[in-house]
Each structure stands twice: as structure tokens, then as C-alpha cells.
Structure 1
Amino acid sequence: MNPLTPEVLNWLTTCGWSPNRDIGGRADELIQIRLKAAERFGVTLVPTPAAVRAIRSYGELRLAHPTDRESAWIMNPVFGYVGDAVSIKELAVELGTELFPVGSEALEDGILLADERGRFFQLHHTGGYYMGENESDAFSRFLNGTALLDAEDFFV
């Protein structure tokens, strides 16, 4: 994991996170729930190391934006909608990597995803978007209101 900036550290702490936070077995339960939901649609999702790390560290937190409390990341991988596993897998194929859900975006229910390289993406009803090179970058971009980039720019 890349080091978190002081701004991100302060924000995460305000949201209930601490550097040694680990929800342990609960993370494994949440991952299994998501895997079984995908299997019902004939899709195999792979929990990427970055996704597992994010779920263990931030799982079950509501990471609200400091200036807009309605805008938040809900860090729970079980959020989804019917058939989303197919869309996640399609985006993963286009990116040439595995993707696994780590949470959702509160305003428009976009699904937050982490890939094998640690990059963060969002699956939104309007398409796929790049959120950051790693969790630290994604958090900083969220806090600073940096526009999401089209995931197509990262297709292989």
C-alpha cells in the first residue's frame, strides 16, 4: 500500500478508521457473500489482494466526504444489483485484469472495485471509470473532487 497523505489520514480517522484496523473474519464472510452472489449468475469473481486488503482495513465504514456528507463511499463489498457480476467481469476483461468489489458510492450506487495491480475503478450505470492508481490515490482524488477518468483509457 502506498503511504496515505496527512489529509487522507485525517479524513479516514474522522470516519472511524485507524491504521491497524482489521475486521478479520468478517471480511472473509463479506467476500464469501459476494462470491456466492456472483456464482448465482454463473460468474466467478476473484478477490484481488488489493480488494481483500481494502475490505479488511475499511470494511463496513461509511467514508463520507468532509464537505458533502451525502457523498460517501460505503465500504461493503456485498452491495450490488442483479446481474452486476456480469458487468464487473466484462469490465475486468477489457482492462485485462481481475476486479473485485470493495464497496459502493452513496449518491449514484456505483460499485467500487480494486484490480490485481491495486488500481481502483468504479462501475457506474453510465460505464466504467478509473478512480486511482491505488487506494491512497483514489482517496485523494475523492477528497479533492478530481473527475473520474473513463476506464476505456485503461483497456488493453
Structure 2
Amino acid sequence: MAVGDLSPEVLSWLTENGWSPGRDIGTECDEDIDVRVRDSERQGTPLQPSDAAKRIIRTYGLLKLKHPRVSGRILKMEPAAGYEGDAEDISELASNLGCRLFPVGYDSEEFGLVLVDERGRFFYLHHTGGYFWGADEDEAFTRFLTGAHAPDAEDFFV
């Protein structure tokens, strides 16, 4: 996604939290992905990142994106984070959506996982279910910032 495709609010928020146009975490991206892939294999449900998920991790990985209005709420762009059994939950959601999903971060307040599919769409896996966060990072980040209702992921099942 080009910088010009980001809304002014999202662009300002990202910049305030350490992001800059052209950001690329390079080999740290590969290391975080490898940690996550190995953990999913250990759990018995291998996950593989799509090119879209790799792009998101390279661009936003390792950022701690603080919510501007909710103290202590942070969108942590850490793909290696997760919980025991999450690989199976991610795989089940991916199967229902008909495409691969890979974690790119999590919400520090709700501990929901932020996932990206092969098309670059964002989904949010919470203990209450799966939700659609947006067609791209601008929509997903806007949803995080505004708290707008997230449709059930079921609406996107194949």
C-alpha cells in the first residue's frame, strides 16, 4: 500500500508511533516469521505466511502502536506472539475463509490476534470468535483507532 493510500489519521498515528514511509525491518522479519512457523509446527498445525503477510510484517513489524485515546491499549505488530493452541484456531478460520492466514500482531488489551490473508485482508481472532478488520492496513488500523464494529468473519466464509 502506498503512503498516499493511507488516511491522514492513520498516517499521522503510524508516524507518531515510529513508522516511516519505506520502512523495512529486513532480516528481523524473517527471524520473527521463522519463530512463528516453528511454533506452529510444534503445535502440530503448520502455518505458512503469504506474500501479503510478509509485506505487512516487513513494513509494520515490531512496532508498538499505541491507541491515542485508550490508555494502555497497544497494537503490537509482533508475529511471533500467540498462545498455546492458536495455530489450530488460525488454521480453522483459514479453512473456513478458503485461504491462508498468518499472524502479524496482537491487541494488548484484548489479546486478540491480528491475521493477514493471501489478499492482504485483515482478520482479528478473539476468544469470542473471528472478525473481519479490513481489506487492507488502512481499514484495519482505522478500525483499531475508531473501535468501529467488526463484521463476523463468517460473512466471508467460502
How do residues 1-156 of structure 1 correspond to structure 2 at under 5 angstroms? 1=1, 3-156=5-158
Task: Using the TM superposition, name which of 56-65 and 87-96 deviates more.
Answer: 56-65
Does the residue aligned with 2:6 lie in a helix, a strand or coil?
coil
Letter in 1 for 2:97: L
> C-alpha distance in 2, partners of 1:110/1:144?
16
Letter in 2 for 1:16: G
Cα deviation for residue 127 of structure 1 reads 0.9
Cα deviation for residue 47 of structure 1 reads 0.5
Task: Using the TM superposition, name which of 131-140 and 93-102 deviates more.
Answer: 131-140
Any idea what the Cα deviations from partners look like across 1:79-130, whole Å, max 9, x if unmatched? Answer: 1111100000000000111000000011011010000111000111111111
> C-alpha distance in 2, partners of 1:64/1:91?
27
Does the residue aligned with 2:48 lie in a helix, a strand or coil?
coil
Letter in 1 for 2:125: L
- Alignment gaps of 5+ in structure 1: none
Give the structure-2-normalised TM-score. Answer: 0.95
Any idea what the Cα deviations from partners look like across 1:2-46, whole Å, max 9, x if unmatched? Answer: 611111110000001001111100000000000000001221212
Identify the structure with the greater strand proportion: 1
Cα deviation for residue 68 of structure 1 reads 1.2
Letter in 2 for 1:24: G
> Which structure would you say has the larger RCO, counting Cα contacts within 8 Å and 6 or more residues apart?
1
Does the residue aligned with 1:70 lie in a helix, a strand or coil?
coil
Q: Percent identity?
A: 56
- What is the count of residue pairs matched by the alignment? 156
Runs (4+) of structure 1 exceeding 2 A deviation are: none
Cα deviation for residue 69 of structure 1 reads 3.1
